[in-house]
Structure 1
Amino acid sequence: MQPRRGRLTVEFRCRLASPSGEIVEGVYLADTEARLRHELEEKGLYVLSLQAKGAVGGLPIRLKKSSIASREFLVFNQELATLLKAGMPLVQSLDLLKRRVDSPVFRSVLNDVHERVRGGAALSDAFSAHASLFPSVYTASLVAGERSGSLDTVLRRFVEYTKIVQTMKRKTISALVYPIILITLAVALVAIIVLRVVPAFSEFYAGFGAELPLSTRVIVSVSLFIQRQVLLLTIGLGVTVGGMVLWLRRPGQKARFDRAILHIPMLGDIARKFATSQMARTLATLLGGGLPLVNALDIAAKSVGNQFIASELDVVGVRVREGASFAGALEARRVFPEVAVKMAEVGESTGALQDMLNTVADFYDEEISTNMERFVTLIEPLLLVIMGIVIAGLLLALYMPLFQLSSVLS
């Protein structure tokens, strides 16, 4: 069963009976239960039971779109490219590979893709029917491969492109793990001191009846305020986070947020380079498959994670469609790095734009790795110093009355 493009798809567990009396169980994708039931009955199957996967009492509780694991998707494309290169027909290749898939969602999609291709549809059209589950770069690559007659080559190029992008994402996330752990530990330690240790010291000092130092009074007051208003503070934090999420979901706001990120020292430079690398590698992959530059720009704009850069790339696509040069359109936006613009200009003038774009992507991937290492090298000791100062300040403020008391007693 195939979902309509752009619609929310739901997995349904079905128990069916064939006209011969055979009982079949499986998982199918559809927009609605009524549509799935209608399509199954049209095929001559009797629906014994049909329930949305993850439903309770017949009411579905899944609210997000189905997804396919990227690793399984890459393995499928690698194997499909190998079978096609070996000379196996596309229909037989799909029939073989769909049996090897573990994910019920992906298996259901491949069943539908196989049926469509066997019925005469192009592979790109078959996957386009499930556009919400696959990146736009993939379906565009399939179109380019079908037009050029080198589908296996395009599939291998797409796999290589995806591996490189995922590797860069993993490196970026790995570099940020340790600073995040440090920040989390610091916040947890300060919270324990403020909510547990400070009240104990406060009760101890109250027995002396002496006036506490200003720093100690401030910490005790903050601790009491947090303890008394913990529910209000939690609600306020939840409302703030929820409001921020809703604001980002409004049209155009995510682009404004991403634009602000580009102005953050160090991180903004890394984000700009990562978006440029994404753009360049996507364009190179699509151009290598034979797709025109104008169409490749439209698809590349959708693949870039930074929405502000994506909107600027949309403008570049419009300028190129009007007859401007690619490098000139990039330079006019004043958003993309100068090195990328110059290399694109050289690529256009020499007729080797695809190779230049790959060079740009490789160059900025190296730059990102270097910048991330430099950022982590700088931020780790800085975080440790800040943690030490904050915790030492808290402990000093707590123990200062004891020092004063000991000096009075002596």
Structure 2
Amino acid sequence: MPKFKYVGRDRNGKREGSIISTSRREAFIKLKEEGIRVLHMDEVPESIFTKDITIGNPVKLQDFVVYLRQFSTLIRAGVPVVEATNVLANQTESKALKRALLDVEGDLRQGNSLSFATAKYPKIFSTMFINMIKAGEASGALDETLDRIATQYEKQHETKQKIISALIYPAVLGVIAIAVIIFLLVGVVPTFVSMFADFGAQLPFITRFVLGSSEWMQSYWWLVLGLFAFLFVGISIVRKQKNSKYYLDYFLLKLPIFGKLLQKASIARLTRTLSSLLSSSVPILQAIAIVEKIADNEVIAKVLANARGSLEKGESLTTPMKAHWAFPPLVTQMISIGESTGSLDVMLDKIAEFYEKEVDNATDRLKSLIEPIMIVLLATIVGTIVTAILVPMFDIFNHIQM
């Protein structure tokens, strides 16, 4: 929790000290209850040893969705936004969300809007959240907006988890296969080298190849590890650079099998988000700009930027999409129908539902396809190594018998 240093006065005169509290406002309240009138207060910067270490969003998605659902229920029941925020701050299990909500409550009591107060915490409340809340405040349908945001986060999380599981599964099997191969080449094959050397006869090609691979692996194992480390660091650096990330995303979308899966997931996410924004009465140009920023694929984001430019010129949203291979005809046709009938948000929602189901089916098929392929591949490699050892051993055995 944050620590605050204060200067104040009590019955005995001037007083200085420090207090640990979830927020500045709560610290003021605690000190007031102790009979101290605060004159000045500063937050003490946290050191690396005392602060909460977080990677990415400090609030778990599950905690945030629960907060949204409960917030919506309280607002629908007629509880004022300020009181609802106070109730949720005191009952949430997330420390980061609690600190943020207590500060948001303080801003609300000062007369600020919810969208203004939450905008101070961009790591917790996304750009999409803030703009949808702003639209919900303007339309007077804040409870519906909160439910819509919660659904958006849940659907987005489900799709993301499906993709991760589909990609991690072959990666884990691949790592296991590589580990087994390295173990055989470094730990098992070398024990037979001296035996084959004493044999003195010409070894089969497969045996010589495996022995050569074993010798190379024992001498240059560090090169293999360095290569994997270089690839990991290189990809991490590339993903942080917008220009280079575009080419990486282009390459990923063009991959056989996996590329189609990533494409479907990206379309599902952008159409779901855009539908939620438009349903909350966010202006379409602003909604597309928001989706551009949160798009997880730079290729898709660039097409969206061109689509926004097309709208600004008075042209159709689908003009740039039809000219790009990343958007299938089904998507552009349904968006065109939505534009012409004035039901773009509904059509986008239907597209999102369709591609979310496509991602589910594709990941299931991918898992069922990859498992036998990886097993056969691993069995072939291990079988080759074992065969390379057994063939000359049979020759040695026959030589001894003779």
**Normalised-by-shorter TM-score class:** 0.7 to 0.9
Match of 1:227 among 199, 218, 230: 218
TM-score by length of 2: 0.87
Shift of 1:102: 2.8
C-alpha separation between the residues in 2 aligned to 1:203 and 1:139?
71
Tell me if 1:291 matches 2:275: no
2:111 aligned residue: 120
Name the counterpart of 1:327.
318
What aligned pairs does 1:207-246 form with structure 2 within 5 A after superposition? 207-246=198-237
Report the Cα distance in structure 1 between the residues aligned to 2:289 and 2:63, rounded to whole angstroms. 27
Shift in CA distance, 239/170, structure 1 to aligned 2, threshold 3 Å = closer
143-152 vs 246-255, which moves further: 246-255
**Residues 170 and 64 of structure 1, relative CA distance in 2, 3 Å threshold:** closer
Count of residue pairs brought into register by the alignment:
384
Cα gap change, 1:68/1:55 in structure 2, threshold over 3 Å: closer, same or farther? same
CA contact (8 A) 2:163 2:265 kept: no
Question: Offset of 1:250 from its aligned partner?
Answer: 2.5
Look up the match of 1:188. Answer: 179
1:147 aligns with 2:142: no
When the two chains are superposed, the root-mean-square deviation of aligned CA atoms in Å is 2.6
Tell me the amino acid that sits aligned with residue 276 of structure 2. Answer: T
Mark the CA change 1:250 to 1:310 in structure 2 (over 3 Å): closer, same or farther: same
Cα displacement (A) at 1:177: 4.7
TM-superposition CA deviations, 1:276-295 (whole Å, max 9, x none): 11111111101111111111
Is 1:172–1:372's contact at 8 Å kept on the other side of the alignment?
A: yes
For residue 55 of structure 1, the aligned residue among 41, 49, 55 is 49
Aligned to 1:392: 383
Q: 1:287 to 1:265 in 2, by over 3 A?
A: same
* Residue pair 1:278, 1:303 contacting (<8 A) in 2 also: no
Q: Determine helix, strand or coil for the equivalent of 1:309.
A: helix
Check if 1:312 corresponds to 2:308: no
Equivalent position amino acid for 2:66 in 1? V
Note closer, same or farther for the CA distance 1:191–1:84 as it changes in structure 2 (3 Å cut): same
Distance 1:238 1:171, change over 3 A: closer
Q: Is the 8 A contact 1:66 1:105 kept in 2?
A: no
CA contact (8 A) 1:15 1:26 kept: no
Structure 2 alignment gaps of length 5 or more: 25-36
State the AA in 2 paired with 1:401: P
TM-score (norm 1): 0.86
Residue pair 1:176, 1:376 contacting (<8 A) in 2 also: no
Do structure 1's residue 169 and structure 2's residue 137 form an aligned pair? no
Residue 359 of structure 1: aligned partner: 350
2:393 maps to 402
**1:235-274 to 2 correspondence within 5 Å?**
235-274=226-265
Query: How many angstroms does 1:225 deviate by?
Result: 2.0
Q: Secondary structure at the match of 2:242?
A: coil
CA drift of 1:233 comes to 3.8
Deviation of 1:123 (Å): 0.7
- Name the stretch that deviates more: 65-74 or 383-392: 65-74
Distance 1:376 1:398, change over 3 A: same
* Distance in 1 between residues matched to 2:265 and 2:45, nearest whole Å: 43
**Structure 1 residues 298-349: Cα deviation after superposition (integer angstroms, max 9, x where no partner):** 1112222112111211121121122112233422344311101101111111
Unpaired stretches in structure 1, ≥5 consecutive residues: 1-10, 30-41
Residue identity matched to 1:203: S
Q: 1:44 maps to which residue?
A: 39
Cα separation, 2, equivalents of 1:46 and 1:296: 40
Query: Identity of counterpart residues, as a percentage?
Result: 26
